[in-house]
Amino acid sequence: AQKVTQAQTEISVVEKEDVTLDCVYETRDTTYYLFWYKQPPSGELVFLIRRNSFDEQNEISGRYSWNFQKSTSSFNFTITASQVVDSAVYFCALISSTSYGKLTFGQGTILTVHP
């Protein structure tokens, strides 16, 4: 069985603050992929990043960065210098080699960035 836990239900920050969204996962498979999706207030789901279980290199894309640590089964997401447009629900998700494409989502973290 697979599980993704996002313990932070809601986070509120002021613009320009850095914020980290936590994600912890469980799977018995050795081959798996982790994803982050963004759901802005308009409701659509936007793919942000994919990371495979064999690649623990951190990734940076503009103000976004991701820290993957297999030792703690975590895949955390940091937004640097947050902006109001970053306000959204963020989902961490997992697919494993035996899940036939089934994405298991975490509960989501609601991020509110205040001006």
Q: Which spans of this chain sit near another protein (rule: CB under 8 A)?
A: 31-33, 35, 37, 39, 42-45, 47, 50, 52, 89, 91, 95-97, 99-103, 105, 107-108, 110
Cβ pair 101, 93 in contact under 8 A = no
- Distance in Å, CB of 71 to another protein, minimum: 21
Please provide residue 86's backbone torsions phi and psi, each rounded to the nearest 5 degrees.
-80, -10
Comparing CB distances to another protein, the nearer of 18 and 59 is 59
Q: Could you tell me which of 43, 88, 44 has the C-alpha nearest to residue 64?
A: 88
- Distance in Å, CB of 101 to another protein, minimum: 4
Helices assigned H by DSSP within the chain: none
- Distance in Å, CB of 81 to another protein, minimum: 26
Cβ pair 85, 24 in contact under 8 A = no
- Distance in Å, CB of 7 to another protein, minimum: 15
Q: In this structure, what DSSP letter does residue 55 have?
A: -
Please provide residue 71's backbone torsions phi and psi, each rounded to the nearest 5 degrees.
-65, -30
Comparing CB distances to another protein, the nearer of 95 and 113 is 95
Comparing CB distances to another protein, the nearer of 32 and 68 is 32
